[in-house]
């Protein structure tokens, strides 16, 4: 029996999974930052050696991603306002992690239920729901990516105003918050490129997979 509600839930969960997984790449894959220390000349830019930079970055990321960890920036100085911004960031990081886990569990569970014949997914536009999920997610982020590409600095500012409304502590002081010296804007741009690239690849993969499934079903008929 086809179930429109569960099909819709699967499509939505798949979109969230694609997005949160992609966001998680630059968060959990730390070598992505390490390999940019030399490429972006962060040692020269910040005035700190590589060991100090890596220690500070790891301390911050440990706080943001590992429950119970105290905030720290290695040997680098930070202000109270600077720390409070990372407290806000941790809330977003935790939200992404929870959404990733829930969406993954939902997708896997519904696939298992469908495989066991407990319910049958609907086929919007004649394709597996992955097609619609991939197309709509890809279309949305293609639009967002185009806007960001026009002016990353402006998009960066808008992002902070949306997710940190009424706050200005994300505008770090170069001398009081030394952590900002090892996080140049180009690094965040590269993070955005990685996230968007991952979303595109995964969405295209979902679309192609649904097309292949349709062709196989037609060949059986």
Q: In this predicted model, what pLDDT tens digit does every residue of 161-208 receive, in sequence order?
A: 999 999 999 999 888 999 999 999 999 999 999 999 999 999 999 999
- Contact call for residues 106 and 8 (beta carbons, < 8 A): no
Query: In this predicted structure, what is the pLDDT of residue 93?
Result: 98
- Contact call for residues 132 and 4 (beta carbons, < 8 A): no
Sign, CA torsion 170/172/178/180: positive
- Which domain covers residue 148, as residue numbers? 4-220
Query: In this predicted structure, what is the pLDDT of residue 52?
Result: 98
CA dihedral 144, 148, 149, 152 (to 10 degrees): -170
Provide the pLDDT confidence category of residue 218 given band limits of 50, 70 and 90. Answer: confident
Query: In this predicted structure, what is the pLDDT of residue 202?
Result: 98
CA dist 36 and 51 (Å) reads: 14
Q: Is the pLDDT of residue 90 over 60?
A: yes
Tokens of 12: 């939505």
If one counts the domains in the chain, the total is 1
Helix 185-220 to helix 31-39 angle (10° resolution) is 130
DSSP helix/strand/coil, 2: strand
CA dist 196 and 36 (Å) reads: 18
The Cα-based distances of 123 to 11, 27, 129, 212, 214 in angstroms read 11, 35, 6, 14, 10
Query: In this predicted structure, what is the pLDDT of residue 221?
Result: 59
- Contact call for residues 139 and 145 (beta carbons, < 8 A): no
- Contact call for residues 126 and 202 (beta carbons, < 8 A): no
Mean predicted confidence (pLDDT) in 7-30: 97
């Amino acid at each position: 029996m086809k179930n429109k509600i569960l099909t819709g839930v699967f499509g939505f969960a798949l979109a969230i999974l694609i997005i949160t997984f992609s966001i998680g790449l630059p968060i959990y894959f730390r070598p992505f930052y390490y390999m940019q220390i030399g490429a972006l000349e962060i040692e020269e830019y910040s005035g700190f050696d590589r060991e100090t930079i890596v220690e500070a970055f790891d301390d911050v990321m440990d706080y943001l991603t590992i429950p119970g960890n105290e905030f720290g920036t290695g040997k680098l100085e930070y202000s109270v306002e600077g720390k409070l911004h990372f407290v806000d960031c941790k809330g977003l990081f935790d939200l992404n992690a929870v959404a990733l886990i829930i969406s993954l569990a939902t997708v896997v569970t519904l696939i298992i239920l469908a495989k066991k014949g407990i319910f049958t997914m609907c086929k919007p536009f004649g394709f597996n729901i992955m097609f619609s999920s991939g197309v709509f997610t890809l279309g949305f982020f293609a639009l967002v990516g185009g806007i960001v590409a026009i002016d990353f600095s402006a998009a960066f500012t808008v992002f902070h105003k949306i997710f940190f409304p009424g706050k200005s502590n994300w505008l770090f002081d170069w001398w009081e918050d030394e952590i900002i010296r090892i996080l140049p804007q180009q690094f965040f741009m590269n993070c955005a490129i990685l996230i968007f690239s991952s979303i595109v690849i995964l969405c295209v993969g979902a679309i192609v997979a649904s097309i292949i499934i349709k062709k196989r079903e037609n060949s059986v008929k």
